[in-house]
Amino acid sequence: MTDYAILDVETTIFQKGTPFADRNRLCYVGIRIGNVNYLYDIEYSDHPYAENLARVRELLSSVRTVVAFNAKFDLNWLARYGIWLDEDQRVYDLQVAEFIYSKQQVVMPSLDYCLHTYGLGEKLHVIEEEYWNHDIDTPNVPRELLIDYLRVDLEKEDELYQMYRKIIPQSQDALLRLLNADLRVLQEMEYNGLQFDWDQLSKQATETKQKLEEVNAKILEWVEPDFRPFFNPGSGDHLSALLYGGVVSGKIGTPYEHIFKGGNRAGQTAIRTKWETNTQQFKRLVAPIEGSRLKKDGFWSTDLFFIRQLPKPKRLISLLLERADLEKLHSTYYEGLHLLRNKMDWTDGFLHGQFNQCVARTGRLSASNPNQQNFDKRIHQYITTRYR
């Protein structure tokens, strides 16, 4: 069995090429073993690709260690096409290696950064500059250019791997091996995703929005009736003026019928809008908390950290806290998860969040898009199982 292979993939570019978007495709797979580069067209062209996938699977199964930069990305793409590494194979992530070697000081290091830092030259940038940055997708990149781009990446990653094997001290190597082992578990977690009861989430979104409107109406009782159409309970500036005193202005549009007096449309009518400014001076209800003054003159922070410390008026403070809670539930979870799923084109009914090993400088694991580690406990009841 060969010692290692370098793995790199080229994909379509929707949402940074996420392997979980239904519309994305795996275009090319590159594998470097020894000094030989093996490049396989998957869905770059219209040719059948089953034989190429079989060859990719065969090559990867012939090595002890698979080396990649941001390996979860590449491995998730292979998994989407039915290719999984054997349990006894190892993964070596070059991005994780740099994060450990830099003592967690370089967050999400890029391949460009690593090559520049160690004097190993640079990637080819022509595809990013002339195609991807102009929303020209990978299948429209000339084949020779794409192959050359993938070849250079493979060779540079090989150089980087050889260097890390020499410079990473034994004291860090044990941690690196552990994180690379963890990576395989995290990759499978991302691939499997979380299944939700989307119908119940939609129901809760509707109910929470209604409760939010009711709370907003109660907050507006603290505002003069003539100014209520202008007041936004979700505006920090407006809440600052309501609590701590200040002036708030707003414009309201009144439709009217305009009659053309000349030209081709003389005598015809059109509906236009007349805008009027209304201003309210709010009296101070409570003294601001020390340290809450904003740079914007005359305004104070309305973050929950400060709101919770206010002694009065208790009913208003209670409403503001309730509103913040409902708003977060609605925007982040009940409606927010639906929006995220649509935005990312996750059509399989699952959320495929990211688990990040190279973000927190303390070395802890973090999660994003969405942050599954900090889900509100009230959301857990909507996470369902695929095993029945």
- Please classify residue 57 by burial: count the beta carbons closer than 10 Å to its beta carbon, then call 0-12 exposed, 13-18 middle and 19+ buried: middle
CATH number at residue 169: 3.30.420.10
Same domain, 218 and 90: no
pLDDT digits (tens, 9 = 90+) for 339-372: 999 999 999 999 999 999 999 988 899 999 999 9
pLDDT digits (tens, 9 = 90+) for 89-144: 999 999 999 999 999 999 999 999 999 999 999 999 999 999 999 999 999 999 99
Is 373 inside any structural domain? no
Which of 248-257, 279-288, 348-357 shows the highest mean pLDDT?
348-357
Same domain, 232 and 189: no
Is residue 252 pLDDT above 80, yes or no? no
pLDDT digits (tens, 9 = 90+) for 182-194: 999 999 999 999 9
Is 153 inside any structural domain? yes
pLDDT digits (tens, 9 = 90+) for 26-50: 999 999 999 999 999 999 999 999 9
Residue with tokens 């922070």: 301
Please state the pTM of the whole predicted model.
Answer: 0.88
Same domain, 47 and 164: yes
User: Per-residue confidence at 261, pLDDT binned at 50, 70, 90?
Assistant: confident
Same domain, 145 and 251: no
Same domain, 85 and 233: no
Look at residues 193, 210, 232 and tell me which one is the last residue of a structural domain.
Answer: 193
Q: What is the pLDDT of residue 383?
A: 95
Q: What is the pLDDT of residue 282?
A: 92
User: Per-residue confidence at 1, pLDDT binned at 50, 70, 90?
Assistant: low
Is 121 inside any structural domain? yes
Is 64 inside any structural domain? yes
Q: Averaged over 239-256, what is the pLDDT?
A: 88
Same domain, 186 and 254: no
Same domain, 188 and 78: yes
Same domain, 182 and 215: no
pLDDT digits (tens, 9 = 90+) for 74-88: 999 999 999 999 999
Q: What is the pLDDT of residue 388?
A: 74
Q: What is the pLDDT of residue 387?
A: 83
Give the mean pLDDT of the chain.
94
pLDDT digits (tens, 9 = 90+) for 61-76: 999 999 999 999 999 9
Q: How many domains does the chain have?
A: 2
Boundaries of domain holding 208 = 199-336
42 vs 144: CA distance, rounded Å: 15
Q: What is the pLDDT of residue 278?
A: 82
Same domain, 27 and 158: yes
Q: What is the pLDDT of residue 143?
A: 97
Same domain, 150 and 292: no
Amino acid at 174: A
Q: What is the pLDDT of residue 265?
A: 86
Residues facing 196 on adjacent strands: 383
Is residue 243 pLDDT above 70, yes or no? yes
Same domain, 162 and 55: yes
Q: CB–CB of 286/271 below 8 Å?
A: no
Look at residues 300, 317, 336 and tell me which one is the last residue of a structural domain.
Answer: 336
